[in-house]
Amino acid sequence: MQTECIFCNIVNGKIPAKKIYEDEQVIAFNDISPAAPAHVLLIPKKHIANLLEVAADDQQLIAHMMSTVPHIVKQLGLAEEGFRLVVNTKDNGGQTVNHLHFHILGGRFMTWPPG
């Protein structure tokens, strides 16, 4: 837990967020600045800075995050029409919060390539 990390502070309740899903390992909440009609961030409760910082010990956690995505997508009603999963990583990836997060985006057609 890093006291200055926005997402750690969402995990510990110091910063409020609209929770979509929570279990012992992860939490999902609405993005404060949605880029699509549905825009949820799925994060590990454990502070991991980005995908490059995932340790061997974290493999079960990452697998759990991936398996949680379909659950959230179905809960949001996005399963039929589809969605996009994005993991921005470091500067060129556009990462602005240094706590690993999966963006789950849906509710509209997503263009390709991304900007």
The contact set with ligand 5GP (CB under 6 A) reads: 6, 15, 17, 29-33, 41, 88, 94-97
> Choosing from 39, 64, 101, 103, which is the catalytic residue?
101
Residues paired with residue 28 on neighbouring β-strands, in sequence order = 21, 42
Among 5, 62, 69, 97, binds Zn ion (CB under 5 A): 5
* Residues in 60-89 that interact with Zn ion by CB under 5 A: none
Query: Distance of CA 71 to CAs 3, 28, 76, 77, 81, Å?
Result: 30, 11, 9, 10, 15
Rounded to 5 degrees, φ, ψ at 84 are -125, 140
* Residues in 12-51 that interact with Zn ion by CB under 5 A: 47
DSSP string, 41-103: EEEESS---SGGG--GGGHHHHHHHHHHHHHHHHHTT-TTT-EEEE---HHHHT--SSS--EE
Q: Least separation, in Å, of the C-beta of 27 and ligand 5GP? A: 11
Tell me which stretch binds Zn ion (CB under 5 A): 17-25, 56-64, 70-78, 92-100.
92-100
Instruction: Considering the complex, state which of residue 50 and residue 79 has its C-beta at the smaller distance from Zn ion.
Output: 50
Q: Which residue is at the shortest CB distance from Zn ion?
A: 5
What are the catalytic residues?
Answer: 101
